[in-house]
Amino acid sequence: MSERPFAMKGLDHVVIRCTDVQAMLHFYQDVLGCTLEDIDKGLGLYQVRAGSHLIDLVPIDEPMGASGGPAPGRDGHNMDHFAIQVEPYDDNAIRAFLSGHGVELGSTIIRGGAEGEGPAIYIKDPEGNTVELKGPPDPAYN
């Protein structure tokens, strides 16, 4: 079999299927701090930037989202969670900020990510997707 004709650089974007795109846009921009990148009304594709990468939202009642069938529920989803690297990671400040926005907070734990072990907090977006905010690797754990 032939050699693989490419090398991988890393992730580019994730595309999340959603029901209420306005509530999701509010959360990802006003709470998490993403910026609006582009909206393609014809496709039903709403893109926000998270640092170097994109988080795309596709409402299930618009063309792109409709291809995946009914709305995701608590059962049967294919993505457990995704993680965004944030810097600095000040647990108290992050918790206070997110609590102020009424975000459901999980525990803070030390987790291995793409760059090593570091602090992470797990939260829920408005439609129940788990989002991990991941701090820089901590030398104490690596």
Partner 1 sequence: MSSKPPYDMIGLDHLVIRCKDQDTMARFYCDVIGGTVDRHNEPFGLLQIRVGAHLVDLITVDGKLGTRGGAAPGKEARNLDHFAIQITPFDDESLRAHLAAHNVTIVESGDRYGAEGTGPSIYFLDPEDNIVELKGPSDGVRATA
66 touches partner 1 (CB under 8 A) = no
89 lies in the binding site for partner 1 (CB under 8 A): yes
Run of H or E residues at 48: strand 45-50
With contact defined as beta carbons under 8 Å apart, do 115 and 90 qualify? Answer: no
User: Contacting partner 1 (CB under 8 A), which of 41, 73, 107, 140?
Assistant: 73
Token readout for 140 is 């104490």
Can residue 25 be called a binding residue for partner 1 (CB under 8 A)?
Answer: no
Using rule CB under 8 A, residue 84 touches partner 1: yes
26 is an interface residue for partner 1 by CB under 8 A = no
In the window 101-130, what residues touch partner 1 (CB under 8 A)? 101, 112-115, 127, 129
Rounded least distance, CB 4 to partner 1, Å: 5
User: For residue 88, is the peptide bond before it cis, meaning its omega torsion is within 30 degrees of 0?
Assistant: yes
| Cα angle for residues 40, 73, 37 (degrees, 5° grid) | 20
